[in-house]
Chains A and B, each alone.
Chain A
Amino acid sequence: MRKQKINILVAHLLEAKPLIKQFGLLKVFSKGESPISGLEQTYMNEDGVILLVTGMGKGAMTQGVQALYRWQLEYLELEPGLAAIWLNIGIAGHRTAELGSGYLAHKIVDQETGECCYPGMLIEGFETSEVCTVDEPETVYLRLAVYDMEAAAFYRAASEYSSSEFIQCFKIISDNLATPINQFKRESVFALIASHGKSLAKLLKQLLKLADEFDKAYALPNEYKELQKNYSLSVSHQQQILRLCQRYYALSKKYELTSVCSQKFANARELVIGLDAGLRSSRD
């Protein structure tokens, strides 16, 4: 299973169902067993796809993102330095867009605060739109934008844990001026989201490719992780030692690094000196 998870957050179980089916997700916690409040409706598969139904609205979404992160950090051995994909999927409204059309958010506006945020634009092959997050279901659609109720909160919360390139919002139009929200049928949600199965698979594929590239560049060297276990390291020593290990790798001196790490050093200071000396001598 991929260590870093693909976190999909939706507001409502109706939105979750087609995704649960598509990704073969199973419910993680039985009733009352969730270790952290807010994670009762968590689903997961063996490929590291996690889906959480947060409940509707900005507050619920914020809490959902935070709870999901905390759970992974405390219970799933999350490695904070690696790429974590955060994806909010849901139905939304638009003044003119066709029902069933899907959009990635390229700008998210919180209507209440006026705050704007801008997701990364490295994903190809998708229509994009401004998304305006509102507190009540939209019926007027003043702005030429996709209207939802969670994206702004989702993006703001997920930004604490990931780089903007890995945080995306995908919205599927369920209502517009011609077919407003009061004519919306709940039973149509499954089909609306299911119809974007291929798009979502494509989106995830691109995000995973980016994440793999990121992880390859920034993964902690195994030798460093071992040294962290075997020595008591201050934050400063950790930074020095990490950088020394990275330099060995960058200079194609992995073998020399392994050799130095196999030695016993009295303390962190001696370890730093030993690593530095090993790096210098390997170049002479």
Chain B
Amino acid sequence: MFSAIYIEEEVAGSDRVLQLLERFPDVPQISCERYGQVFNRSGQNFRLQKKAPALILAKKYGNIVLPAPEGYGFNQDRSYYFSHMMNCIYDCRYCFLQGMYRSANYVLFTNYEDFGAAITATVAESESRAVFYSGYDCDSLALEPVSNFCEYFLPLLEELPTATLEIRSKSTQIRKLLEIEPLANCVVAMSFTDQQSTDRWEHKVPSIAKRLESLKKLQEAGWPVALRFEPVIFDEFYLERYKMLFEEVFTCLDGSMIHSVSTGMFRMPADFHKRIVKLYPDEPLLARDTVKSNGLISLMDDTEEKCLQVLEEELFEFVSSKQYYRCA
């Protein structure tokens, strides 16, 4: 599963790390002083490393819980995000992570207790409901059998009824969720693009059908589930493709019970885009014309708003506008 496991000296003796390492006796185990020595060094190729990523076990220091970017998320109140992991096992060609990190190796921060303390402190300081987003720098569930993310964070969430956690994922690793009673303050949000986009750009990602199957199981078990249609990449036939996607999704799921639905456009910082283009100069998606505004790259200019409105009209055949928001 991993080409190697790097272990920061700081976490080497912890129970969580030792238990994890027991599962991979044949994988080279390599000590390092700080994860940055491996993860942040120059002279490595993200694209090649994606073929066989390593796992880096480390301790997270500093600001563990951060304010969520403006316009990100379903709530108007204070919201935050945290990243117990960096990088994703999937390989979506539109993903900003390719341009953010030098390395495709996964970093798993194993000091969950520090995350828990930071989340608890943030909730205590919040005057209103505090919403936490997980899955900004990784897929929250994809490595669940290794990370045991749900095993630690869901019981914590149960003790914090004024907090809400969104678990963002494209994964079907929902076994842990199905083993426990659903939490009203935990939303499992799954991302979707249309079938053609999935085929072209979402490498190693479970099929739309499999993701829907997982969401359906969660919904039937009582978990709040959400839909994240992103990134929407417009072209001549996008509407037909999204009609088909919406048909498939809302045939499977009860639209009225969906926690929230959002759309998001292809957006990323210009310097990330530049790095990704260097990694994948042969990728057709990245060869499209781009528009730069306020340091962000997008794929369209003045027609995007119109296309999005048309898409939203289609979406509102299945969900109410109250369930919907546009992700910035």
Q: Is the interface of A mostly helix, strand, loop or mixed?
A: mixed
Q: Is B44 an interface residue (CB 8 A)?
A: yes
Contacts of B31 in A (CB 8 A): 107, 130
Residues of B with C-beta under 8 A to A202? none
Contact assessment for B54 and A246 in the assembled complex, using a CB-CB cutoff below 8 Å: no
A120 to B43: give the CA distance in the assembly, Å: 10
Q: Is A121 close to B, CB under 8 A?
A: yes
**In the complex, which of the residues A116, A121, A162 has the most CB atoms of chain B within 10 Å of its own CB atom?**
A121
A106-B28, A107-B30, A247-B287 known; A218 vs B281 contact (CB < 8 Å): yes
A52 CB to nearest chain B CB (Å): 21
In the assembled complex, the CB of B327 is this many whole angstroms from the nearest CB of chain A, namely 28
Which of B41, B48, B283, B289 is in CB contact (< 8 Å) with A122? B48
* Distance between A27 CB and nearest chain B CB, rounded to angstroms: 32
The interface bits of chain B over 251-293 (1 if a CB of A lies within 8 angstroms of the residue's CB, else 0) are 0000000000000000000000000010011111011010000
User: In the complex, which residue of chain B has the Cβ closest to the Cβ of A211?
Assistant: B48
A128 touches B44 (CB 8 A): no
**Bound: A249/B51 CA distance, A:** 23
Q: Which residues of the partner chain A approach B284 to less than 8 Å between Cβ atoms?
A: 250-252
Question: Is B44 in contact with A164, judged by CB distance below 8 angstroms?
Answer: yes
In the complex, what's the smallest C-beta–C-beta distance from A144 to chain B, in angstroms? 11
Interface size on B, residues (CB 8 A): 29
Say if the beta carbon of A243 comes within 8 Å of chain B.
yes
Q: Min CB distance, A233 to chain B, in Å?
A: 18
A214 within 8 A of B: yes
A112-144: contact bitstring with B at CB < 8 Å (1 yes, 0 no)? 000011101110100010100000000000000
Q: A121-B4, A121-B52, A165-B48 are in contact. Are A106 and B277 (CB under 8 A)?
A: no
Measured CB to CB, the closest approach of chain A to B93, in angstroms, equals 12
Selected interface stretch from B32-40, B84-92, B123-131: B32-40
Residues of B within 8 A of A (CB): 3-4, 6, 28, 30-33, 37-38, 41, 43-45, 47-49, 51-52, 54, 277, 280-284, 286-287, 289
Known A-B contacts A121-B54, A163-B44; the reply to A128 vs B49 at CB < 8 A is no
Q: Could you tell me the distance in whole angstroms from the C-beta of B255 to the nearest C-beta in chain A?
A: 37
Residues on B with C-beta less than 8 A from A107 are 30-32
Chain A residues, Cβ within 8 Å of B51: 122
**Residues of chain B within 8 A of A213, CB atoms compared:** 48
Q: Which of A191-250 touch B at CB < 8 Å? A: 210, 213-214, 217-218, 243, 246-247, 249-250
A159 on the B face (CB < 8 A): yes
Can you sample 10 A-B contacts with CB below 8 Å? A118-B41, A122-B52, A128-B4, A130-B31, A214-B48, A217-B47, A246-B282, A246-B287, A250-B283, A251-B287
From residue B173, how far is it (CB to closest CB) to chain A in Å? 25
- Which chain B residue has the least Cβ–Cβ distance from A248? B287
B49 to A120, Cβ gap below 8 A? yes
Nearest Cβ on chain B to A246's Cβ, whole angstroms: 4
When distances are taken between beta carbons in the complex, the residues of chain B under 8 Å from A251 are 284, 287
Nearest CB of chain B from residue A253's CB, rounded to whole Å: 9
Minimum Cβ distance to chain A for residue B103 (Å): 10
